[in-house]
Structure 1
Amino acid sequence: MEIERKYIPKTLPENLAQYKHHKIEQAYLNTAPVVRIRKQDNEYFLTYKGGGMMAREEYNLPLNEKSYNHLLTKADGNIITKTRYYIPIHNGLTAELDIFEGKFTNMTLVEVEFSSIDEANSFNPPEWFGKDVTHDGRFHNSYLSQIDCCLGK
């Protein structure tokens, strides 16, 4: 089960290079239910996500590079590219800050994963997080994969 809240950051933390980060490329084979392939640095995954906004099923299966590249030719829509930064915040939680590239350059999202729905509902975000878009499906990457123009432009 994936339980997360998502925000549009008002500002970005300084010195992002100091934080652990990954280059991510992902594409969608299906959006309802979500079936996604992802390259994260030199690792490859196939992911299934069930329906929902803040809480939904999620299963990750490993792929090899050859399988990823084969499935990439079968993907529909936009290929999403971004750098994800892992920024420690309060109570042992980690903010995952995505800075998008390509078609979605200048778009940023930050999300936090939780161990329970109660924990997610009681979360008090840092000031820099900005607007909560957890329940707005337009900010799911699967939606971004299907649109002609980026949000907020």
Structure 2
Amino acid sequence: MNTKSSDFLEIERKFLVEELPVLADAIRVSISQGYLTETEDSVELRLRRADDARILTLKSGWGMTRKERNVALEPAQFDLLWPETEGRRLQKDRWIGPLPGGLRFELDIYHGALAPLRVVEVEFASEQEARRFVPPAWFGAEVTDDARYGNRVLVTAGLPEGE
């Protein structure tokens, strides 16, 4: 199989959400997420249970464009690694819904120590498309380049001041 490194790029923008939109056309996924790497590590290695799916994700870089690789895990593999994430876990509900132009939003509503944080992300096919995107009125301040809103930072440092 011939794959290019660009096949593994994630291009997304991230925004805070003050007021929730109508979610009638969205689906909800319950997510438990834990990190195998520390905040200061150069790459992010994450375990995620999203409903019945279990995924190991490797991410590198930060900001709008990052490299990302996902590997599906069997439940026994996930369960073997999950204890290593102790102290670096979060819980959230993700609402996935449509946006104009064939895009979709992923609205994360955090639980526990990270409540009442709400963040919405939109993924794009290209950086040009991402830059042209005009967020709907219910999107709040953009935090794409604010490292404090990365999930790995949130689980170790907590909510940014003022949240």
Report the counterpart of residue 4 of structure 1 in structure 2.
12
Q: Separation in 2 of the partners of 1:146 and 1:10?
A: 23
Q: Per residue, is there more strand in 1 or in 2?
A: 1
Report the counterpart of residue 150 of structure 1 in structure 2.
159
For 1:1-153, what aligned pairs fall within 5 Å after superposition?
Answer: 1-14=9-22, 16=23, 18-30=25-37, 31=39, 32=41, 33-147=43-157, 149-151=158-160, 152-153=162-163
TM-score by length of 2: 0.87
Whichever residue aligns with residue 56 of structure 2, its letter is: L
Q: Separation in 2 of the partners of 1:130 and 1:52?
A: 20
- Paired-residue identity, %: 39
- List alignment gaps of at least 5 residues for structure 2: 1-8
Q: Separation in 2 of the partners of 1:10 and 1:74?
A: 34
For this pair of structures, how many residues does the alignment match?
Answer: 151
What value does the CA root-mean-square deviation take over the aligned residues? 1.4
Q: Which range is displaced more, 27-36 or 73-82?
A: 73-82
- List alignment gaps of at least 5 residues for structure 1: none
Whichever residue aligns with residue 3 of structure 1, its letter is: I
Aligned partner of residue 67 in structure 1, secondary structure: helix
Question: For 1:34-85, what per-residue CA distance to the aligned partner results, in whole angstroms no more than 9, with x for missing partners?
Answer: 0000000011000000112110100000111121122111115331110000
Q: Separation in 2 of the partners of 1:79 and 1:27?
A: 4
Aligned partner of residue 61 in structure 1, secondary structure: strand
TM-score by length of 1: 0.93
Q: Separation in 1 of the partners of 2:64 and 2:99?
A: 19
